[in-house]
Amino acid sequence: MSVFGQKLQPKKLRPRPRWQAAIDRLEGAYSENTLRSYRADFAAFEAWCRTSRLRPLPASPQAVAGFITAVAPKFSPSTLRRRLGGIRKVHRLMRLPNPVEDEEVLLAMRRALRSKPRRPKQAYGLTRNLRDKLISACPNTLIGIRNRAIIAVGYDTLCRRSELVGLRVEDLSTLEHGAMSILVRRAKNDPFGDGRLGYLTPKTVKLLKKWLKASNIKRGFK
């Protein structure tokens, strides 16, 4: 059971497309988030090709350029680049000619980017004051108790969402004055899994222990 995650119900297996099997070969070499992006990006391209009666594999440069032109109004520049990355990776994995580097695709991408000039949005950092407001806003329910612990642990350890759901109870260590440390086994900037220690303040430890008691989780993922 995961403290910060949710139980996933088993799904019925369906026949996997050849390109899905190709992406499966990357497991262990890339993060789950990267693999998820490759699958989602190529699935979107495949669906568009099906609707447009075009062949997704091997895709022609005209098909990829048409796809970019069609979806450009709906997506940000970063999403468009990610879509192309997924198409490129699947073609390479399947040893097919790469249509993404064709001049027609590059021009379509350039037009799409020039059509939506914008300044990048800067995300605001989570300040202590904002953290306290978020914790106070959580209801006194099981989910609210969990969310308080997530906010507090995330603030102390600077963990991303994917790192928070991977924390384990047995990786907690007691320190002096009511504080604790926890091992962050894997992170986005730690591809080889060397891990790092996160420090939990006594206030965070109190919220975390309340969640562990309420959820009756004694070992495993948090």
Instruction: Supply the CATH number for residue 49's domain.
Output: 1.10.150.130
Residue 7 lies in a domain: no
144 and 100 fall within a common domain? no
- Which pLDDT score, from 0 to 100, does residue 59 have? 93
Residue 13 lies in a domain: no
162 and 193 fall within a common domain? yes
Which span out of 146-150, 168-172, 185-189 was modeled with the highest average pLDDT?
146-150
Check residues 36 and 6 and name the one with the higher pLDDT. Answer: 36
- Taking phi first (over 0 means left), then psi (-120 to 50 degrees means alpha), and beta for anything else, what does residue 53 get? left
42 and 85 fall within a common domain? yes
Q: Which two tokens stand for residue 138?
A: 């959580």
pLDDT tens for 62-89 read: 999 999 999 999 888 889 999 999 999 9
60 and 109 fall within a common domain? yes
CATH of the domain at 159: 1.10.443.10
30 and 105 fall within a common domain? yes
171 and 140 fall within a common domain? yes
Check residues 159 and 119 and name the one with the higher pLDDT. Answer: 159
Domain extent for 154? 128-215
Residue 182 lies in a domain: yes
Minimum mean pLDDT range among 5-14, 46-55, 101-110: 5-14
105 and 77 fall within a common domain? yes
37 and 99 fall within a common domain? yes
99 and 159 fall within a common domain? no
User: Which among 53, 88, 114 is the end of a domain?
Assistant: 114
pLDDT tens for 151-161 read: 999 999 888 88
140 and 72 fall within a common domain? no
Contacting residues for 80 by C-beta, under 8 A, at least 6 apart:
68, 71, 72, 109, 112, 113
Single pTM value for the model: 0.53
Q: How would DSSP label each residue in 112-160? A: HHHTS--PPPPPPP--HHHHHHHHHHS-SSHHHHHHHHHHHHHHHHT--
Q: What is the largest CA-CA distance in the chain?
A: 66
- Which pLDDT score, from 0 to 100, does residue 190 have? 57
Average pLDDT, the chain: 85
Residue 164 lies in a domain: yes
From first CA to last CA, the distance across the chain in angstroms is 8
Residue 220 lies in a domain: no
How many domains, the chain?
2
Q: Closest Cα partner for 109 from 55, 175, 65?
A: 65
- Which pLDDT score, from 0 to 100, does residue 163 have? 86
User: Which among 79, 114, 149 is the end of a domain?
Assistant: 114
